[in-house]
Amino acid sequence: MDTSLAHENARLRALLQTQQDTIRQMAEYNRLLSQRVAAYASEINRLKALVAKLQRMQFGKSSEKLRAKTERQIQEAQERISALQEEMAETLGEQYDPVLPSALRQSSARKPLPASLPRETRVIRPEEECCPACGGELSSLGCDVSEQLELISSAFKVIETQRPKQACCRCDHIVQAPVPSKPIARSYAGAGLLAHVVTGKYADHLPLYRQSEIYRRQGVELSRATLGRWTGAVAELLEPLYDVLRQYVLMPGKVHADDTPRPGPGAGQR
């Protein structure tokens, strides 16, 4: 009995010491976070003062070249301010992680992972079923939880549609379900694949020849010409939406456009 009490006393003392160490580490961690937030605020104030100074310089007498340089500096400073404000907000939302090395804590700020993402839980239990030190029974002390963001690459699949035919035993009338509609007639391209192709080309700036190479590495041969035909067919499918958007844009009777020149495909062309 005395031995059992001694073991329990030692366990509680060790638990108390661990909690005290954790409290001290959290206090130091919070102090470091406060220093980082103060540094962010100081840099943001400095950049805001710089932007105000540059904006005042724009209204003075200056050459076109100097004015363009000033505008570029203002834009860079404003982008830096936005980035610092986002980093500061992420820092304020950080949670203490005792496993994280101190050298990495200066760059550990991140937003919490979206709760809408599917989650896979892996429980790693200790191999020991009893205390390796004394052989006593183990009791639960909680659970340490960490997260890892993983990417599951897109995968092709073939959807086989079967339409059984049935015949009447009296009059030989044949019954069969109608053919389901396809986005493109006489094509095996599914709606999800077509959406992936056009999104990659126009939203992600991924040329068709690169998409063709990506699909080839996944084991599916889709030539650039095939992808081009699909893209044209999708454009025809979206014509009703285009017409509605065009009417909406032209409804006010006045359209504002940005006429800033952009470099053309050739050297020196605009």
Question: For 142-195, what is each residue's pLDDT tens digit?
Answer: 788 888 888 777 789 999 999 998 988 888 888 889 988 999 988 999 999 999
The model carries a pTM of: 0.52
Q: Is position 201 within any domain? A: yes
Q: Would 191 be classed as within a structural domain? A: yes
CA distances from 184 to 4, 191, 193 (A): 77, 9, 12
Q: Are 97 and 193 part of one and the same domain?
A: no
Last residue of a domain, one of 75, 106, 137: 106
Structural domains of the chain, count: 2
171 DSSP 8-state letter: T
**Measured on CA atoms in the order 213, 219, 225, 231, is the torsion positive or negative?**
negative
> Is there a contact between 111 and 93 (Cβ–Cβ < 8 Å)?
yes
DSSP 132: T
Tokens of 136: 């006593």
Instruction: Specify if 257 maps to a domain.
Output: no
- The tens digit of pLDDT for each residue in 25-40 reads 888 887 888 888 888 8
> Is residue 99 pLDDT above 70, yes or no?
no
Q: Which of 111, 110, 45 has the alpha carbon at shortest distance from 80?
A: 45
**Does 11 map to a domain?**
yes
Tell me whether residue 268 is in a domain: no
Q: Domain range holding 52? A: 2-106
Give residue 41's identity as a one-letter amino acid code: A
3-state SS class at 189: coil
Confidence band of 78 (pLDDT split at 50, 70, 90): confident
29 in a structural domain: yes
Task: Report yes or no on 199 lying in a domain.
Answer: yes
In a domain, 91, yes or no: yes
